[in-house]
Structure 1
Amino acid sequence: MAMEQCVVGLERHNLAELEVVERLAAKLGAEAFEAEVSLLSRLHKVNPECVIKSIRRFVHPSLIGMSVEPFLVLQRLADELVEREPALLKRPSFRCRNDHATALPLELWFAIVRHARAHYDPAESDAAFLVARLREGFTSEQAFHALIASKRSD
């Protein structure tokens, strides 16, 4: 099997992973998000033959991609990985990075996703939303329906 066949792109089934990473980046801000993923990267042993996660920048609603700020952070992270392990440049995914696509080792992507999930709990924001509606005088049922409506509009 050719080495570059070991590339996994962002697809519809990855939307939950993408969303949790995006939310963490938004919650922390670009600078703090970059510090966190940089730390995760330093803990990651780079294998030049690893499976690659190809990450595209969001450019059109019909395509799955990451918003600009977290994408730029991951793009800089990929540059750091190449500095640490220049053999990654033998991989087309790392050689052909540009303004619209970057790449990370799949295991590092999973580490970032796990970290994001540990720091962002969607149930917590749902509970905060419900409590806020109850304080506004909504009944429990009205608050629940408002939560559903807000999720449909997102």
Structure 2
Amino acid sequence: MRFEGKKIVYIDMDHVLCDYEAGFNAHQTKYPELAYPQSQPGLYIGLDPMPGAVDAFKWLSAQPELEVFILTSPSEKNPHCYSEKRQWVEKYLGMETVNRLIISPHKDLNRGDYLIDDNVAGKGQDHFEGELIHFGSEQYPNWQSVTTYFSNLAAR
């Protein structure tokens, strides 16, 4: 197997790597007449990273026992999200991470050990075969708590 002996970690983008809420609110202000302001180009590429997200992604990716991928769902309201999410990854995580971007509305189809996501259901998270790390929850409220969790796993 290609990643033999390594744990596969998937990380969601919206509300996990990217501050979708702030970006959506700004887009809503820019396009107040639209029911779905997220349908307009510029939303996804304009998102800021969540606090600590870029450093945490790089730290996780540097762990020799892990293979880290981005697993994000597309927006049905914005066909531009496919290219803009790819551009966001290049902008904040580098060209070497672009080939680790997976865009799928069916997160349970991906085989892996960990899924870091802000939702526990809706896009297959509840059927993911590995452990769901619920980002933004009481147990994992931020990136520091997630990296601490993985640090403790590595120390075992």
The TM-score with structure 1 as length reference comes to 0.30
Structure that is richer in strand per residue: 2
Larger radius of gyration: 1
Structure that is richer in helix per residue: 1
The TM-score with structure 2 as length reference comes to 0.30
